[in-house]
Amino acid sequence: MNLSNSNAPLARREALKSRLEQLTRMIEIRSVEERIQKLFGEGHIRGSTHLASGQEAVSVGVARSIDPDDIVTCTYRGHGHALALGVTTVGVIGEICGRTIGCAGGLGGSMHLVEPAVGLLPTAAIIGAGLPIACGAAMAARARGTDRIAVAIFGDGSANIGAFHESLNFAAVLKLPVVFVCENNLYGEYTRIELSTAVEDIAVRATSYNIPGVIVDGQDVDAVAAAMETAVARARRGEGPSLLEMKTYRYSGHSRSDPATYRRPGELDAWLKRDPVDILAEKLIAEKLLAPDGLEPLKAETRDTVERATEEVLASPHPDMSEILSHVSASSSGGDRKFTFWG
């Protein structure tokens, strides 16, 4: 894995204190996702990809509300979260393209991004797998006597599996410092939420575990951050977990091969009218932090930066086949095996 001591991820995280950088990062996430689409078509990406264009406010709102040493788990739809938390553009695109310059040395791919420096545990391809892991991270923080918290980011589809209920119940009973963040984008893979879920709002399920359940406008980065800050403060005070339901929408289908023909007529257009990038840009214009005609130049500049990062990635090598056993070790006794994922 490419687990160097580079200060770039921490510097990128620190930069999120700037309102203008929050907008820039959201544009960066959108631009990276668009470039990934093209890279797939050009044959540079093996396997599938799962994009989250439209959900950028959740990624940036979460990242700006926690500390770099807090722990985050998220799903295979995690490119935006990785970029928001501080993983570099080259690190994300490089990993997705399977190049040594990637954040995991090109060994993980699109579904397995990681950056210990900013608290990002390896993203999980298994639905809901990050929820119990976040509970474990919270238990570790408590055992060490720190005030670190864990954040578990997952989709609405995960709210119907056993790990969701087990994790919320476990965290509630032990008052673990966890913030459960559900990105409700209306679809669990290809299935619309009302066809698989008996409740309209995932947040109401928090009542069963006697913890706060909050519905949040996931298109507004400030609304996301405000809800996060309340939940994070509660967790740090030792008062236990919260469940935040971010109402959001993904513009793409479930995966690279999904044209999303199952959407209702006009549904995408309605959500595009509340694009998270536009919402924040309008605020910054009102705050005089962005010129009235400043959004398009900022988008163009960011796209150029992403393109330069892409060129750097494509000029870098793929891992050698000998790397297949790196970061994995086995005892010589022929019995127990030990797996090491952190270098």
Inside any domain, residue 249:
yes
Query: From residue 283, how far is each of 16, 20, 278 by CA, in Å?
Result: 16, 10, 9
Structural domain contains residue 170: yes
Would 13 be classed as within a structural domain? no
Across 34-48, 217-231, 309-323, 326-340, the highest mean pLDDT is recorded for 217-231
Confidence grade of residue 331 (pLDDT, cut at 50, 70, 90): low
Long-range contacts of 229-233 (CB under 8 A, 24+ apart): 229/65, 231/179, 232/65, 232/66, 232/70, 232/149, 232/179
Residue 237 domain-assigned (yes or no) = yes
| pLDDT value at residue 1 | 40
Mean pLDDT in residue range 258-264: 80
What is the per-residue pLDDT for 96?
95
Kindly state whether residue 8 falls inside one of the protein's structural domains. Answer: no
Residue 12 lies in a domain: no
Identify the band that residue 145 occupies on the pLDDT scale cut at 50, 70 and 90.
very high
The bridge status of strand 150-155 relative to strand 71-73 is parallel
* 36: Cα separation from own chain's centroid: 16
Domain that holds residue 243: 18-339
Quote the pTM value. 0.91
Average pLDDT for residues 140-168, to the nearest whole number?
96
Tell me the chain's radius of gyration from C-alpha atoms.
20
Separation CA 329–CA 123 (nearest Å): 22
Average pLDDT over the chain, rounded to whole?
Answer: 91
Strand, helix or coil for residue 97: coil
Q: Would the pLDDT of 5 be above 60?
A: no
Domain count, the chain: 1
Give the pLDDT band of residue 194 (cuts 50, 70, 90). confident
Residue 343: the pLDDT is: 42
* Residue 144 placed within a domain: yes
DSSP state at residue 99: -
In a domain, 152, yes or no: yes
CATH assignment of the domain containing 230? 3.40.50.970
**Terminal Cα-to-Cα distance of the chain (whole angstroms):** 6
Phi/psi at 124 (nearest 5 deg)? -110, 135
Considering the chain, what percentage of its residues have pLDDT values greater than 90?
74
Closest-CA residue to 240 (of 161, 290, 324, 169): 169
